[in-house]
């Protein structure tokens, strides 16, 4: 046997289609796939906006809250915790009084941030086309029949002091 030859390659692994193997491979369509939770955190309304905002640099909590207009303190804190848990956001607490905490993206966060920014940019670029289609769809912004029906259903409940049933 010649010594200058590389060692033989190991045999190719067989495909294991058990549920645990599917979950380990991150098959997103499986009910218990762990990637679904990550996908939910990244693609939530606040997750997308926080990731895109942090692509510009490091922010303190209050500055980030001003940047992401409309987010409550609770939702921003929850979103940052989820993104930090997934390894996308780095939280640095400086030992000073008053507390000084900064948030920035990790290298993995920059990667996923670029992906969701592309999606957000596509939505912005196509917003006129998207909005133009909404009136034609049930529940669209200009679907006056649906609005009138819901208003009529809510009126008796409001007069009785109950929450409307939907």
What is the 3-class SS of 84-135, one letter each residue?
Answer: HHCCCEEEEEECCCCCEEEEEECHHHHHHHHHHHHHHHHHHHHHHHHHHHHH
**10 against 44, higher pLDDT:** 44
Q: Do 58 and 103 touch, CB atoms closer than 8 A?
A: yes
The pLDDT assigned to 46 comes to 97
In the structure encoding, which two tokens stand for residue 130, read together? Answer: 């998207």
Sheet containing strand 100-105, edge to edge, reads: 59-60, 100-105, 89-94
The pLDDT assigned to 157 comes to 43
Under the banding of pLDDT at 50, 70 and 90, the label for residue 63 is: very high
Sort strands 59-60 and 89-94 into parallel, antiparallel or unpaired: unpaired
| Residue 55 DSSP SS3 | coil
Q: Domain spans of the chain?
A: 32-133
The pLDDT assigned to 138 comes to 65
State the average pLDDT for the chain. 80
Asked whether residue 159 carries a pLDDT value surpassing 60, the answer given is no
The pLDDT assigned to 61 comes to 95
Asked, as a colleague might, if the bond just before 85 is cis with ω within 30 of 0, I would say no
Return left, alpha or beta for 56; rule: phi > 0 is left, psi -120 to 50 is alpha, else beta.
alpha
Which fold does the domain 32-133 belong to in CATH?
Arc Repressor Mutant, subunit A (1.10.10)
The pLDDT assigned to 36 comes to 84
Is the pTM here over 0.85, yes or no? Answer: no
How far, in Å, CA of 138 to CA of 156, rounded? 24
């Amino acid at each position: 046997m010649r010594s200058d030859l590389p060692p033989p390659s190991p045999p190719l692994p067989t495909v294991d289609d058990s549920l645990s193997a599917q979950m380990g491979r991150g098959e997103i369509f499986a009910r218990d796939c762990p990637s679904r939770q990550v996908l939910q955190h990244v693609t939530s309304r606040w997750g997308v906006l926080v990731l895109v905002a942090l692509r510009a640099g490091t922010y303190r909590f209050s500055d980030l809250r001003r940047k992401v207009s409309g987010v409550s303190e609770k939702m921003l804190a929850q979103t940052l915790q989820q993104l930090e848990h997934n390894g996308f956001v780095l939280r640095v607490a400086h030992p000073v009084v008053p507390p000084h905490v900064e948030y920035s993206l990790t290298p993995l966060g920059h990667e996923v941030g670029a992906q969701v920014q592309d999606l957000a940019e596509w939505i912005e670029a196509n917003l006129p086309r998207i909005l133009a289609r909404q009136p034609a769809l049930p529940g669209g912004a200009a679907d006056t029949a649906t609005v009138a029906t819901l208003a009529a259903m809510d009126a008796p409940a409001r007069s009785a002091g109950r929450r409307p049933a939907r």
